[in-house]
Structure 1
Amino acid sequence: MDAAVRSQGNSASVSTVQRPELLAPAGNWDCAKAAVENGADAIYFGLDRFNARMRAQNFTEADLPELMAFLHWRGVKGYVTLNTLVFPAELPEAEQYLRSIIAAGVDAVIVQDVGICRLIRHLSPDFPIHASTQMTVTSAAGVAFAKDLGCDLVVLARECSLKEIHKIQNQSAEQKVALPLEVFVHGALCVAYSGQCLTSEALGGRSANRGECAQACRMTYELVADGETVDLGDRQYLLSPQDLAGLPVLSDLVKAGVTSLKVEGRLKTPEYVANVTRVYRQALDRAMEQIPPTPPYERGEPSSAAKQKSLPPISSPRAPLSKGGWGDLSATHPFTQDTWQNQDRYDLEMAFSRGLYTGWFNGINNQELVHARFGKKRGVFLGTVTRVKGDRLFLRLEAPLKPGDGVVFDAGKPAEREEGGRVYTVDCQGKETVLTFGRRDVDLRRVKVGDRLWKTSDPELDKRLRQSYASDKPQFQRPIWLEVHGVLGENLVAIARDEQGHVVQVESEMPLVQAEKQPLGEDRLTAQFSRLGGTPFRLDQLTAQLEGAVMLPVSELNRMRRELVKRLDTLRQQPKRWQLNATASRQDLLPTVVLPGDTQPELIVLVRNQKQLATALESGIKTLYCEFEDPRRYRDAVQQVQQFRDAQGAEDIRLFVAPPRIAKPSENWILEQVRRCNADGYLIRNYDHLQFFADSPCLGDFSLNVANPITAQYFQQFGLERLTASYDLNISQLESLLTTCPPEWLEVTLHQHMPMFHMEHCVFCAFLSDGTDYRDCGRPCETQEVKLRDRRGTEHILHADAGCRNTLFNGTAQTGAEYAQRLLQLGLRHFRLEFLHDTPDQMRRTLDAYRQLLAGEISGAKLWKMLKLHSQLGVTRGTMES
């Protein structure tokens, strides 16, 4: 992929701005065709293993040659998603997958697992790697980490604002570690940082890091503050963000130098792909008309004149849309008709919408990100019911509606059964519109005045969308440029170039002769060579260098045109040839395993307040981790430990403190605050920590997602004393990890409240204040204890951190005690216990039980029954095990 020229903030010269690629999702062949025919520059898709959308239909290895030939013929790139963690036993299959992907001429692979990045670069020095958003890159340090790993592009976390994208670009350029950046521009928003969500795992034994997200964020929760349920009215979906719509900031993203604009939706229908791709293709073309791109021959791309001509609208007639629906952007974000037209908005809301919002692009607004009123598709807001009389329903219509459209009634209780169906008649009567429905389609007795009405289906729009990709003949055409050279008495020569750099040349089979009436010129040649219907091409520009008044029969010009197309077709369908080392193997990257000597196991304790710290010290714990919400309190913790050392003469006690899990470009002040406490060491949780605390003793936390020995060995080069095994590993996978890398490298969290959601979204601010962020929220996180009660009645514990991010911890503590003896046999000696709100008495009881467990005095089953814990270690059901 050609790297975009990085712009220097808003002052960048527009002449350096390049057209970003439009990247569309494809869960199957129809989706791929829908993307291609509606203007996608690239698609991304998964195979039947190792991708983060295992519920999609997906492709197979056998599909790759045909799929890539089709895409390249149409001038579209294809990226394979291999964006899950990979376990040790799966490395042989992953290696074979990678060889097939590289040999098939795929344009790049999107990767989460650090070990897989290393394996790809070992197998091929030039095959492109895109660092997935699952790698949680939020800063220049993350970009530098990805570049050192061998990545060619970074997909930023969705939580990055435009301002932060500019800072990441500028800081990366200053540090000479810049890579092209990709951002999600449309689709579902995960409330948790991708790669840091353990909710599906904690609640159902399924892992989002393994493509099995159960979408717990889309469920209802009750807010419990200081033990009392907060009345939030019809706001029940506290963790379900509106869908991302980046159209209002599209020009800003282009000016920021973003290389790729990504649409989410590999689980969506072909109609969704066609709809959203078309809207963004047109919007991007409009934006580029106002921002002249770099000339094509400086970067191997088409000129501004070479853009795809605007496609005709394929939706309903333009009509005023809702000003007050939950999907309304205009209330908070000014926009122009150039960037956010009514038609665009209608199409996107009909494609799929839980409400449309600019996400985090314009910064944090906790009041708007999550409206909390529903967590499923709604569509276009039609209006509020004003009357119901017999079989007729009255409302003031605020959006287009016609017979045959599907609607749903919203009474503010989306978790219950909702009325809905197809509209039979639409009759305008003054300011009101009267609707009727088919017999028994809708029970209007359950519909009340004040209920909201949403349009969920537009069959006419769906039909037009399907027509856009149903034909076997290409609908969306890519530009080509022609040069024609001719001299009287010699053959005419035509040279064609496409936007990918392919060049073909064709000569006439007869010489040019003297023209008696109408000699050839650019106009006549353009008219003849532009007849490219039914091909993937359209003639963007033709230049002719002809000497004298010459002519050639039309039939020969037609033959030359067909031959040019044929040769371009052949060239474009050839697979890309990447280097592939036949003798390289994953085995080359595996560490040497030496079992440790007969050392005693150690309990390591993580505490979250100073009372817990005192209890751990008094209980004889030698290695302690502190994770406090306020890093300023770490200095007190260090002093507390030092005083205990001095009093007890216990110099072997070590205190490690934990910086926040996420680091944004302007948050080094938090890391400085952490470092000033002068702890014995630091718990490394992200790429910024690796860089910032490089000169201090460090331990790798679970958030580094160490799931296989290749990943473990890579992180070992940073001088980390130990690594915490990924929470995605169940016992069999953990055993495999312990037998494929030195067990002394690892520690395992045996007891914890699983940290499920780690979010930029602040629930405290959104639902316990009227503020938008930390500047005006009143800091309810400092004064109230908050829990979220799920549908089963479990109350999950909410914490804030120094960056005003939230972590939701599972309300039930879990233990891997039943597997402790097996882990000891495999050489593991470091076992972590994490405490959340535990009292000193609860901690002492828990510590005593685990000491007895490691000494073999009680069984794991007895421990979890005695402490009333949930017996679980990682994912108890391996969701992708064969």
Structure 2
Amino acid sequence: MLNEKVELLAPVGSVESLFAAVENGADAVYLGGKLFNARQFASNFDYEELKSAVEYAHLRNVKVYITVNILVDDREMRKTLDYVKYLYEIDVDGIIVQDLGLASVVRELFPDLPLHGSTQMTINNLPGAIFLQNLGFERVVLARETPLEEIKNIHENSDIELEGFVHGALCVSYSGQCLMSSIIGGRSGNRGTCAQPCRMAYDIIRYDKDQSLSEQWNKKYALSPRDLNTIEYLDTIINSGIISLKIEGRMKRPEYVATIVKNYRKALDFGINSITGEDKDDILQIFNRDFTKGIMLKEFGRKFISYDRPDNRGNPSDKLLIKAKESYQDSNIKYPVQVEINISIGKPAELIVKYKIDSFRVESEYIVEKGKKVILTKERVLDQLSKLNDTVYYIEKANIYLEEESFLPISVINGLRRDAIEKLDSKRKNFNNRKPIFNKEYEAKIQKYFNFTKKEREKGNKISISLADENHFNQIDLTKLDRVYIGFQKGLKEALTKVKEAGKEAFLLTDKILYKEDLDKLKPLIKFLEEVIDGISVSNLGTLQWVKNNFNLDIHGNIGLNIFNSFTVTKLKKIGLKSLTLSPELNMKQIDEICTKGSVDYETIGYGYLPLMTTKHCPMSLVKDCKDDSNCNNCSFSKGYGLKDRKGMNFYMERRRGTTTIYNSVPLMVLDSIEQIYRSGVNMVRLDFTFEKENIKEIQEIYYDYAKGMVSEKEVMEYVEGYRKEREITKGHYFRGVI
């Protein structure tokens, strides 16, 4: 047995999959309701089905975690909290959440409801785990890209439970940091409706020349990962500190769930050497896109990506499928009980059922009579008490005290059995022994979150600029901006000094993904820069916690924090953030709703090629056949390349410090709408520059001058029309929003 404390966690997308998971040995299952979960296209469970699922699982000693793991906007928050209240009352064992605002309110309203941080919170280091631990989370589902040494560091230096994926489909992007489906088609992965553009074919191209790299790399599935399979490495994973082994697959058929759970259960109970060739073949045939052991275990490039085809290579025979289905058609899970029955003439009959240390006593209303024609026998009594086929119990031991010549109708004995078992079930269904929440008490508590005074909108009309390249800095006009975010390192102090000398705000721009090694390198750099920076821009909860722990500097929350509602704003303000970039997935109505409720500096992106995907995977590693990412910093393929999709749209990609960012094919440009954006309560509109050939100075000047009232609306409209003639532009989600 690998570890008795380790939990095998199975995916459940339907009632049949629930049976498959439980009957094949899952310790816990995760599933979603019809709303508020990141698998909106699974069958999922309505309210009554959720209640039944929890009861079914609890009676078989299996925990149930419910996914409430999407970003929630202000108008949805009350309905979401009412849903969480229902989950609390039906005794779910925990909820999996992504939204920071939702989590903070749930923690206050339902203090004894366990919170699990979704992998979409992008927790990949110790400070991130500590952040959630301090917020009252019981568990974190780590980013799939978190390496073993990082997991060990988290395990050894925190008290939060660690959950990790061990089998199933993989996202190529860091979860929570993918906008590709959202920006291209309006279906947001952060809202549970991802259209999976990562599974589409792309040409790898030389971006500036709009030229295919070669025929060999046309129509390749350069973003489609193989399926994760770590069954032969479970001991290594468990030794790193993972206590919950998560199987992906809420969209998969029940036979898949049955097969994968059965084999991982076998490996856990009897060791990885117990997995036979036949078992491996079952796993292979039920579903696979080729297998990888994952980035966690250092797979990279061609060993990680199924670049020739994105679909299932499995081909299960009818006889596999039948065997898998048979495994959950009938319940084989039974628990021993002891029974004692006393039947004495002139008294009510008494039945006691014992399960472990608990005992349950019931008594009949019927008074036992002396039999005239028919009398009871011990055999007949035992036969009636043993009719437990519709329960999860069997009689291990029976003591029958029966006075001679006693008579009791069989229906009364059956009723005693049913009543005692019902009492036992009621106790066992209620894993968590929660106190009921009365509606009056709940309403009183919840109203403080929804009774607010509209804040006076501060007119800032500021322009900020974000730069990741030294050459871009040399092109900007320091008189025509209010704040600069700088993410390059060569000549960094000199650049920041110039910003300060110009009397502008200077912020250090940090990467979305930082591991312990990266943070260790960043610390002396920030100390070196403390005198010339006003603050640090963070795009990750781990970086946020780390900056708070180590520096007394202002913190700006960037788009990686997925700020989607005023509840998240309130929490981040309490933590100490002074300014925030709102999620680019918000529309104007949602932005307006947020800005009426808070008094921080709000920023939105007004120009730039939005980052669609942040990934540890490097598509160019397929071309070079890289075995690992050890040479990324010196690679000539890190810039200048991109992907072309089936519609002929080109997506630029750039690799920096071990992470690839894929950008949108067209720039966001809302110059002609920034007056409306400022009226909503946004203080600052940001310009993000990615390419050198972007007319940086010209774009900066027209945005700044319009924001400050130095050019007319007519001049702006003419500029936008001229710009649009040269290239396609987008207004992103400002006027459409996401599903």
TM-score band, normalised by shorter chain:
0.7 to 0.9
Residue pairs, 1:274-673, within 5 angstroms: 274-287=258-271, 337-338=273-274, 340-379=275-314, 456-471=315-330, 474-475=331-332, 477=333, 479-480=335-336, 496-497=354-355, 504=360, 535-537=391-393, 567-574=423-430, 576-579=432-435, 580=437, 581-582=441-442, 583-585=444-446, 587-588=448-449, 593-597=454-458, 599-618=459-478, 620-628=480-488, 632-633=489-490, 636-643=491-498, 646=501, 650=502, 652-672=503-523
Q: Residues 29 and 861 of structure 1: is their aligned pair in 2 closer, same or farther, counting only changes over 3 Å?
A: farther
- 1:515 matched to which residue of 2? none
- Name the CA distance, whole Å, in 2 between partners of 1:43 and 1:562: 28
Pairwise CA distance, 1:235: 7.3
Contact 1:846-1:867 within 8 A present in 2 as well: no
Provide the secondary structure at the position in 1 that maps to 2:628.
coil
- Name the CA distance, whole Å, in 2 between partners of 1:466 and 1:801: 48
Gap regions ≥5 residues in structure 2: 343-348, 369-383, 400-409
AA in 2 matched with 1:46: G
AA in 2 matched with 1:837: F
Pairwise CA distance, 1:68: 2.0
Contact 1:799-1:806 within 8 A present in 2 as well: yes
Question: Percent sequence identity over matched residues?
Answer: 28
Q: Deviations over 1:801-848 (max 9, x none)?
A: 22x011111121112335422222233221101010033x70122123
- 2:566 matched to which residue of 1? 709
Q: 2:663 aligns with which of 796, 809, 828?
A: 809
**1:98 and 2:106 correspond:** no
Contact 1:205-1:876 within 8 A present in 2 as well: no
Pairwise CA distance, 1:620: 2.5
- 2:232 matched to which residue of 1? 248
- 2:187 matched to which residue of 1? 206
Pairwise CA distance, 1:485: 14
Provide the secondary structure at the position in 1 that maps to 2:697.
helix
- 1:721 matched to which residue of 2? 578
Contact 2:678-2:684 within 8 A present in 1 as well: no
Contact 2:73-2:565 within 8 A present in 1 as well: yes
Q: 1:193 aligns with which of 167, 174, 190?
A: 174
Pairwise CA distance, 1:762: 2.1
- 1:141 matched to which residue of 2? 127
Pairwise CA distance, 1:89: 1.2
> Structure 1 stretch 791-800 or stretch 809-818: which is displaced more?
809-818
Q: Residues 674 and 41 of structure 1: is their aligned pair in 2 closer, same or farther, counting only changes over 3 Å?
A: same
Q: 2:44 aligns with which of 58, 63, 66?
A: 58
Pairwise CA distance, 1:670: 3.3
AA in 2 matched with 1:730: N
Q: 1:850 aligns with which of 676, 689, 703?
A: 703
- Name the CA distance, whole Å, in 1 between partners of 2:720 and 2:92: 49
- Name the CA distance, whole Å, in 1 between partners of 2:636 and 2:328: 51
Contact 1:864-1:870 within 8 A present in 2 as well: no
AA in 2 matched with 1:668: L
- Name the CA distance, whole Å, in 1 between partners of 2:433 and 2:30: 19
Q: 1:871 aligns with which of 712, 730, 737?
A: 730
Pairwise CA distance, 1:563: 8.4
- Name the CA distance, whole Å, in 1 between partners of 2:604 and 2:218: 42
Q: How many residues align?
A: 689
- 1:798 matched to which residue of 2? 653
Provide the secondary structure at the position in 2 that maps to 1:168.
helix
Q: Residues 256 and 723 of structure 1: is their aligned pair in 2 closer, same or farther, counting only changes over 3 Å?
A: same
Q: Residues 817 and 88 of structure 1: is their aligned pair in 2 closer, same or farther, counting only changes over 3 Å?
A: farther
AA in 2 matched with 1:705: N
- 1:700 matched to which residue of 2? 557
Q: Deviations over 1:743-768 (max 9, x none)?
A: x431111112111110111223x224
Pairwise CA distance, 1:769: 2.4
Contact 2:123-2:542 within 8 A present in 1 as well: no
Contact 1:41-1:77 within 8 A present in 2 as well: yes
- Name the CA distance, whole Å, in 2 between partners of 1:617 and 1:586: 48
- Name the CA distance, whole Å, in 1 between partners of 2:421 and 2:321: 32
- 1:87 matched to which residue of 2? 73
Q: Residues 242 and 81 of structure 1: is their aligned pair in 2 closer, same or farther, counting only changes over 3 Å?
A: same
- Name the CA distance, whole Å, in 1 between partners of 2:218 and 2:667: 30
Pairwise CA distance, 1:136: 0.9
- 2:406 matched to which residue of 1? none
Contact 2:638-2:655 within 8 A present in 1 as well: no
- Name the CA distance, whole Å, in 1 between partners of 2:20 and 2:303: 32
Q: Deviations over 1:629-664 (max 9, x none)?
A: xxx42xx13213424655xxx2x2222121221122
> TM-score of the superposition, structure 2-length normalised?
0.85
Q: Residues 560 and 103 of structure 1: is their aligned pair in 2 closer, same or farther, counting only changes over 3 Å?
A: closer
- 1:331 matched to which residue of 2? none
Contact 1:75-1:478 within 8 A present in 2 as well: no
AA in 2 matched with 1:756: L
Contact 2:227-2:291 within 8 A present in 1 as well: yes
Residue pairs, 1:754-765, within 5 angstroms: 754-764=610-620
Provide the secondary structure at the position in 1 that maps to 2:629.
coil
Provide the secondary structure at the position in 2 that maps to 1:757.
strand
AA in 2 matched with 1:865: E
Pairwise CA distance, 1:163: 2.7
Q: Residues 611 and 258 of structure 1: is their aligned pair in 2 closer, same or farther, counting only changes over 3 Å?
A: closer
Provide the secondary structure at the position in 2 that maps to 1:615.
coil
AA in 2 matched with 1:587: K
- Name the CA distance, whole Å, in 1 between partners of 2:598 and 2:679: 15
AA in 2 matched with 1:704: L
Q: 2:212 aligns with which of 215, 222, 229?
A: 229
Provide the secondary structure at the position in 2 that maps to 1:361.
helix
Q: Residues 823 and 590 of structure 1: is their aligned pair in 2 closer, same or farther, counting only changes over 3 Å?
A: farther
**1:734 and 2:734 correspond:** no
- Name the CA distance, whole Å, in 2 between partners of 1:822 and 1:709: 19
Pairwise CA distance, 1:480: 4.8
- 1:684 matched to which residue of 2? 538
Provide the secondary structure at the position in 2 that maps to 1:74.
coil
**1:273 and 2:128 correspond:** no
Pairwise CA distance, 1:712: 0.4
